[in-house]
A = this chain, B = another copy of it.
Amino acid sequence: MYNILICDDERDIVSALKIYLKDDNYRLFEAANGKEALEVIGKNDIHLALLDIMMPVMDGIETMVKLREQSNLPVILLTAKGEDADKVLGLNLGADDYITKPFNPAEVQARVKSQLRRYMQLGSGRIGGDTLVIGGVELDDKAKVVTLDGESVSLTPTEYEILKLLMQNANQVFSPKEIYARVWKDAPLGSENTVAVHIRHLREKIEIDPAAPRYIKVVWGQGYKMERGK
């Protein structure tokens, strides 16, 4: 359940956005100007804010600058056509995205969803130093989170370690013994079958068709590898 703040002085805009964002997963908060917005954000655990640029008392840009002094939650600016100067200024001052009026409902939903996912799952959305990416598979080693085409995938610790090993050494082939040694940090006694079972489980989670894997490939007589590129 995500908390979303909608901030605009025009009640009609607020109403429209509330309808567009009607979703069991969203709890919607309102504010009529920047000052109210900051109060709401201060009192509640807001996950994303939609701020109109043109507002009385305190405008969207000013609000966002104040907000950025203490938080980096996603801010989507609402702009009217032709306010390009404000838009660029806003982006340079830390906004994450913008939507131009009049709104396209699907676009609003998509951008909100996208920013939330970025913020929640990837820890403020940065695909940076600790994130491995191969095709549609993303592994964030800081957050210990794996996503497949944007959808979060839940892996067990062992599965996670195996996937990490393979992703850190993309295209390199590891024999089951080698995988066992490096993940369990122990000598592989007899049961390399264990590795096969975990590979199977991994494939069930990150492959569309485990029988025709896109990512975790087997090289006969050699071992497994995570394939990057074509």
Contacts and interface: CB of A to CB of B under 8 A. Distances in A.
Interface size class of A (residues with CB under 8 A): 35 or more
A15 interface: yes
Contact of A157 (B31, B132, B220): B220
Contact of A19 (B11, B98, B160, B172): B98
- Residue of A132, A144, A145, A225 with most chain B CB atoms under a 10 A cut-off: A144
A15 B127 contact: no
Contacts of A133: 3, 27, 29, 44-45
Interface string A122-148: 000011110111111000101111000
Interface stretch (A85-93, A180-188, A191-199): A85-93
B40 A129 contact: yes
A228 interface: yes
A23 to B, nearest CB: 12
Interface string A9-45: 0011101100100100001111110001001100111
A63 to B, nearest CB: 14
A190 interface: no
A97 interface: yes
B16 A127 contact: no
A182 B214 CA distance: 34
A29 B172 contact: no
A170 B86 CA distance: 35
A60 B222 CA distance: 41
A212 to B, nearest CB: 14
A94 B22 CA distance: 16
A229 interface: yes
5 contacts: A16-B91, A27-B133, A28-B127, A43-B131, A45-B228
Given A11-B94, A15-B92, A44-B134, 18 more contacts: A1-B136, A3-B133, A13-B92, A15-B91, A16-B88, A19-B97, A22-B97, A28-B127, A29-B128, A31-B128, A31-B129, A43-B131, A45-B134, A142-B171, A142-B172, A143-B225, A157-B220, A158-B221
